[in-house]
Amino acid sequence: MYSPYQLAKKYLRFYRHAHNSKGHGVHSPFVYDFIENVKNSKEIPEQAGLIEAYRGQLLKDERLINVEDFGAGSHLTKGKERKVKDIAAASPKNKKFAQLLYRIARYYQCKNIIELGTSFGITTSYLASASSDNHVTTIEGSPVIAEIAQAFFDKAGYENISLIIDNFDDALPRLLSSKDKVDLLFIDGNHREEPTIRYFESFLPKVHNDTIFVFDDIHWSEEMERAWKTVSDHEAVTMTIDLFFIGLVFFKKEFVVKQHFSLRV
Ligand SMILES: C[S@@+](CC[C@H](N)C(=O)[O-])C[C@H]1O[C@@H](n2cnc3c(N)ncnc32)[C@H](O)[C@@H]1O
C-alpha cells in the first residue's frame, strides 16, 4: 500500500495527464456521453437521503465489533476489535463515487449486478436503488459487518439485494454457476494483485458486449497497479476509463482499437 505522500504524488501526476472534468479533447463519443450523462450528471436516487443518514449514524457508532482479517489469499486469520465508526470512515465508497456507481448502473440499465465486498452495504444500496427490477448480489466475509448491512437493507425495504456471507473464494464457484451473465461487477475487496486478477478471470465467461467491470483502488498499491495493467491489457477488454480511485472496464466489440482514458472526477 502506498503512503499518503506517495498517493498524493501519484494523484498529482494523474491530474496533470487526465482529461479535465468536462472531457475537453475526448474524441470517443461513448466516453463523451459517459462524461455528460453519467460522470457529471447530478442525478441521485430518492433513497440517497436515507442511505447518507445511515452512513452518518455509522460514523458516530462507537460499538466495538470483532472483524476478521482476510489477509493474504483471503484465508480468515485472527479476529480484531474495531469501532464501527472507524470502519465506516475507511471502507465504504464516499458519497461521490457511490452515487457515480448508482448512475452507471442506472444509465447502462445493468440488471444483474455483483459486488465483491459489501461492508455496511452503502454502495450496495445505491446500486439496488438504480432500478427496482435489477438484482444486486453482494458478498461479505465478516458476519458481524454483514449483519449490520442486512439490517439496513431490511429497514430500507430493499427486496432486490442478496447478501452472501462468505469468503469470496468459497462463495464464487456457486455464484458463478448460478449466473449466465453479469451486467455490472464491482470488485471492492481483497485489494491484492493475484486475487484481483483471479476474480477478473473468473467472471470473464459471464461477460457480454455491454458488461461493465469496476475495480476499486486501482492506484492504491504497486500490486493493484499491476493488477489494473493486467486487466487493461487483457484481449477481452476493449476500453478502460481510469478515474484514479476506481477503474472502469468495457468489453464492447465495436471498440475495434483498444483505448484507455484517464478522466478527472
Ligand atoms: C472496501 S470494503 C467494501 C465497501 C463497499 N463496497 C462500499 O462501497 O460500501 C471491503 C469489504 O470486503 C470484505 N472482504 C475483503 N476480502 C474479502 C474476502 N476475501 N472474502 C469476503 N469478504 C472480503 C471486507 O470484510 C470488507 O468489509
167 within ligand 1 shell (Cβ under 6 A): yes
pLDDT of residue 75: 40
CATH number of 4-57+93-262: 3.40.50.150
- 236: Cβ–Cβ under 8 A, 6 or more apart, which residues? 204, 207, 251
C-alpha cell at 230: 493486467
C-alpha cell at 128: 439496488
Q: DSSP H helical segments within the chain, as ranges?
A: 4-17, 29-34, 48-58, 84-90, 95-107, 122-128, 143-156, 168-177, 193-203, 222-233
Output the CA 33–ligand 1 centroid distance in Å: 31
Question: What number of CA atoms fall less than 13 Å from residue 53's CA on the CB side?
Answer: 8
240 within ligand 1 shell (Cβ under 6 A): no
247 within ligand 1 shell (Cβ under 6 A): no
Q: Domain spans of the chain?
A: 4-57+93-262
CA distance 23 to 198: 32
| Per-residue pLDDT tens listing for the chain (265 residues) | 898 889 999 999 999 888 877 777 788 999 999 999 999 999 999 999 999 999 999 999 999 999 987 643 334 445 689 999 999 999 999 999 999 999 999 999 999 999 999 999 999 999 999 999 999 999 999 999 999 999 999 999 999 999 999 999 999 999 999 999 999 999 999 999 999 999 999 999 999 999 999 999 999 999 999 999 999 999 999 999 999 999 999 999 999 999 999 999 8
* Backbone CA torsion sign across 155, 156, 158, 163: negative
C-alpha cell at 265: 472526477
DSSP 38: I
Question: By C-alpha distance, which of 222, 223, 167, 232 is closest to 200?
Answer: 232
pLDDT of residue 78: 52
pLDDT of residue 73: 35
